[in-house]
Chains A and B, each alone.
Chain A
């Protein structure tokens, strides 16, 4: 049963990591232009990664 004390926080931590990643994608503006990003990835000179708001 003791393993639960380790596994439970660990898995919550993994979930929290995913949540943080989601926050990061929001903050760095990765949902600002889904259509444009889908096109940009096709060309090397356009694919500079997402750009933040400012």
Chain B
């Protein structure tokens, strides 16, 4: 087997005109100043690196490379050598990760804050003066002019995010929440200008800017929630997205999987996933197909064997020929199903949008009626317009707009602390409605990795020295079970076969039945054989163990009134065992991805709201079709992409917590809606009748927003109960 001399990762380097390069790495595990110091110092020591800086907040290491010979792989190796997990970031992804929108919102927020503070300086004396009669009319006008000079540019700058969104929505023939906000702000400015020019007493420059300031606070919080969730998801994916290693002559070149062409020769090292469908050209290995078919038995492959994208290469280095591009691989059919599922799901109307669809036209009509009615009843156009503006401001859907995002931010961050990543607010709303839970078996109910079972300690101790020397996952599981100890000498690993070495001077082998010298062996079970030369052979059996809290979680789900079902692609035997242990009576085995998806479809058609929990490619379509979906952090990209929530950690209990949190969030959102509706029922008529001027309206509006925010942040009873339970 030819060992590649050089792994070329030029595709991940961004070069400027002078040839200086820049790569971004995602570094896992860096936490303190010590880590920064260690990593930066080591990376700067790599030849060809001119600068390195680790961002502890995002976990990104930016490395600048000198023109010419600088090797990104050396940087990755250096960081991994220090004990941190590192992977290269696709430059296109890195661009997308730059948070332009967040920066714009922060700037708008800063300007609105400045404006609100400084306009008050002029208008508060004006308000006070109106009552105390200390200011004469000309001073008042002067004050207003100064307020106008400060407020107008601030309002126009800070309002841009709203104006843009409102305009985009109007162009599509719809009215979102930003339409009344924009009209309210612009109308208030126009009224205030006309008042000031006509030496009137009712200018509300302060109201316009303060309104924007308060709205932007909510907008910014909402944006942060979504940006955090997105970047965490992107990082998870970057850790998993395999770099396909293309073999050209003797050189391995790392390229993004999307760039693989049919006929490319690719190298799949042990521990990596097969990037696209293909045929094995040379090498022998075992494949773990669990993520594609759900099967737990390992599949041995040799030259000429067919490989499916997503399979995990366990033991030997394989050279393969790509027979499909990434888009045409086994994934394609699944991906199409997923898209269809995602489309039906995006038709789901969010709570806030439902409210907005009712609310916006009503508010506009009321404001228009106020103006027309007021004028007709002899108020005069100025007073009528003023009242209309007050109506628009006081009914500003601020509390309504905050009602849902505030609750969702609180719920998402609560879940995030427990290791659950929520991809969107809509996902939480759908999760709250779920009444039926479908689990996948491998990797969800079980840990998804083999564990040694029923091995007597003295036999394990015999084989352990060889197991410690091997990188094969089964051997690793054995070594883990055996703990620290001796390592065999002169170890040679035969790819796809096993490992051979000297233990106390005796030659021994650990591996496949044939390798160790045993005829036959049960291919259906995951096993390793061990034996000294010319001695008795010992068999070790491995099994995928159920997660520790699987049974408890199922019981909790039943208590919440949910029915539970298992759909697995694995054989009936293991599925029955696991389901029996977890107390699940309703299960089906040996399903294809399409059958899984159609079962979920059928459940949906019968009116059930299904939560799908799955991790494999074979679950991806079902995940996308289900009403809500969760995937563990160890799942394949496709599953994580399709899932609404991604959970990390060993336990399955987070599924229950996620559902309870989502239901709680839904209750809170409805409470908030109720409050905002009540507020509007009182405030809108008051504004129409002229009891409220635009300034008071702005204050009342912000008061109602505060109530909504506080309600969202209030710790909940069920959360307290949950944390009590976990403490016990």
Q: Which residues of A contact B107 (CB under 8 A)?
A: 23, 26
**Chain B residues with Cβ under 8 A from A1's Cβ?**
139
Q: Are B32 and A11 in contact (CB under 8 A)?
A: no
Interface string of B89-121 (1 = CB under 8 A from A): 000000000100001001100110010011001
Instruction: Output the least CB separation between A50 and chain B (Å).
Output: 10
Q: Return chain A residues, CB-CB under 8 Å to B58.
A: 32-33
Sample of 19 more A-B contacts, CB < 8 Å, known A12-B118, A31-B106, A32-B55: A8-B146, A9-B146, A11-B118, A15-B117, A16-B114, A18-B114, A19-B111, A19-B114, A23-B107, A26-B107, A33-B58, A36-B36, A36-B54, A36-B55, A39-B33, A42-B33, A43-B33, A45-B37, A53-B98
A23 CA to B111 CA, complexed, in Å: 9
Q: Which of A1-54 contact B (CB under 8 A)?
A: 1, 8-9, 11-12, 15-16, 18-19, 22-23, 26, 31-36, 39-40, 42-43, 45-46, 51, 53
Among A26, A32, A33, A40, the residue within 8 A (CB) of B33 is: A40
Among A33, A36, A45, A53, residue most surrounded by chain B Cβ atoms (within 10 Å): A36
Q: Interface size bucket, B side?
A: 20 to 34
CA distance A42 to B110 in the complex (A): 29
B103 touches A26 (CB 8 A): yes
Cα A43 to Cα B118 with chains together (Å): 40
Whether B139 and A32, one on each chain, are in contact in the complex, defined by CB atoms closer than 8 angstroms, is no
Q: Which of A's residues lie within 8 Å of B, judged by CB?
A: 1, 8-9, 11-12, 15-16, 18-19, 22-23, 26, 31-36, 39-40, 42-43, 45-46, 51, 53
Cα distance A39–B34 when bound, in Å?
Answer: 9
Q: Which residues on the A side are within 8 Å of B37 (C-beta)?
A: 43, 45-46
Please indicate the chain A residues that have their CB under 8 angstroms from the CB of B106 in the complex: 26, 31
Chain B residue contacts of A22, Cβ below 8 A: 110
12 A-B pairs with C-beta separation under 8 A: A11-B118, A19-B111, A23-B107, A31-B106, A33-B55, A33-B56, A35-B57, A36-B56, A39-B32, A39-B56, A40-B33, A43-B37
Bound complex: CA of A16 vs CA of B37, how far in Å? 38
Is B150 engaged at the interface, CB distance under 8 Å to the other chain?
yes
Whether, in the assembled complex, B199 has its beta carbon less than 8 Å from a beta carbon of chain A, the answer is no
Give chain A's interface secondary structure class: helix
Which of B56, B111, B121 neighbours the largest number of chain A CB atoms within 10 Å of its CB? Answer: B56
Q: How far is the CB of A42 from chain B (nearest CB, A)?
A: 5
B31-47: contact bitstring with A at CB < 8 Å (1 yes, 0 no)? Answer: 01100110010000000
A23 partner, pick from B33, B110, B117, beta carbons under 8 A = B110
Q: Which chain B residues border A36 with CB–CB below 8 Å?
A: 36, 54-57
Taking CB atoms, residues of chain B closer than 8 Å to A12 are 118, 121, 146, 150
Contact of A46 (CB < 8 Å), options: B36, B121, B146, B150: B36
Residues of B within 8 A of A16 (CB): 114
Known: A26-B103, A32-B55. A39 touches B114 (CB 8 A): no
Q: Quick one: closest A residue to B40, CB to CB?
A: A46
Shortest CB-to-CB span from B161 to chain A, Å, is 16
What is the bound-complex CA distance between A34 and B32, given in angstroms?
12
- Contacting pair A46 B33 (CB below 8 A): yes
Which residue numbers of B lie inside 8 Å of A, CB to CB?
A: 32-33, 36-37, 40, 53-58, 98, 103, 106-107, 110-111, 114, 117-118, 121-122, 139, 146, 150
Minimum CB–CB distance from B668 to chain A (whole Å) comes to 29
B25 to chain A, nearest CB (A): 15
What total count of A-B pairs have CB within 8 Å?
A: 58
Bound together, the chains give a CA A31 to CA B227 distance in angstroms of 15
CB distance from B113 to the nearest CB of A (A): 8
Q: B121 touching A32 by the CB < 8 A rule?
A: no
A12 to B115, CA, bound (A): 9
Could you say which residues of chain A place their CB within 8 Å of the CB of B114?
A: 15-16, 18-19
CA distance A40 to B40 in the complex (A): 12
In the assembled complex, the CB of A48 is this many whole angstroms from the nearest CB of chain B, namely 9
Please, which residue of chain A has its CB at the minimum distance from the CB of B154?
A19
Residues of B near A8 (CB, < 8 A) are 121-122, 146
- CB B97 to nearest CB in A, in angstroms, measures 12
The 7 A-B pairs with the shortest beta carbon distances in the complex, nearest first, are A36-B56, A39-B33, A33-B55, A35-B56, A19-B114, A35-B57, A33-B57
Question: How distant is the Cα of A32 from the Cα of B103 in the complex, in angstroms?
Answer: 10
A26 to chain B, nearest CB (A): 6
B36 and A40 contacting across the interface, CB-CB below 8 Å:
yes
Closest to B98 in A: A53
CA distance A40 to B55 in the complex (A): 11
- Residues of B within 8 Å of A15, CB to CB, are 114, 117-118
> In the docked arrangement, what's the CA distance between A34 and B58, Å?
10
- Output the nearest chain A residue to B33 by Cβ-Cβ distance: A39
- Please determine whether B56 and A11 come into contact, CB atoms closer than 8 angstroms: no
Chain B nearest CB from A12 CB (Å) reads 5
Residue of A nearest to B125 (CB): A4
Nearest-Cβ distance from residue A43 to partner chain B, whole angstroms: 5
A1 to B134 alpha-carbon distance, docked (Å): 12
Given A39-B36, A46-B33: A11 and B121 interface contact (C-beta under 8 Å): yes
Compute how far the CA of A8 lies from the CA of B54 in the bound complex, rounded to whole angstroms: 45
**Bound state CA distance, A51 and B104, in angstroms?**
20
Cβ B56 vs Cβ A32 within 8 A = no
Q: Smallest Cβ distance from B368 to chain A, in angstroms?
A: 36
Cα distance, A33 to B58, chains bound together (Å): 7
A residues in contact with B150, CB < 8 Å: 12
Picked from A18, A32, A43, the residue with its CB within 8 Å of the CB of B57 is: A32
Q: Which residues of A contact B56 (CB under 8 A)?
A: 33, 35-36, 39
Bound-state Cα–Cα, A22 to B56, Å = 22
Give chain B residues whose Cβ lies under 8 Å from the Cβ of A26. Answer: 103, 106-107, 110
Residues of B within 8 A of A23 (CB): 107, 110
- CA distance in complex: A15, B121 (Å): 11
CB distance from B127 to the nearest CB of A (A): 16
A13 (CB) vs chain B CBs: closest residue: B118
Tell me which residues across on chain A come within 8 A of B32, comparing CB atoms: 39
Shortest distance between the CB of B231 and any CB in chain A (Å): 13
Q: How far is the CA of A23 from the CA of B54 in the complex (A)?
A: 24
Please state if A19 and B110 are interface contacts (CB–CB under 8 Å): yes
Residues of A with C-beta under 8 A to B53: 51
CA distance A1 to B129 in the complex (A): 14
Chain B residue at minimal CB-CB distance from A45: B37
B103 to chain A: which residues have CB within 8 Å?
26
CA distance A53 to B106 in the complex (A): 17
CA distance A33 to B122 in the complex (A): 38
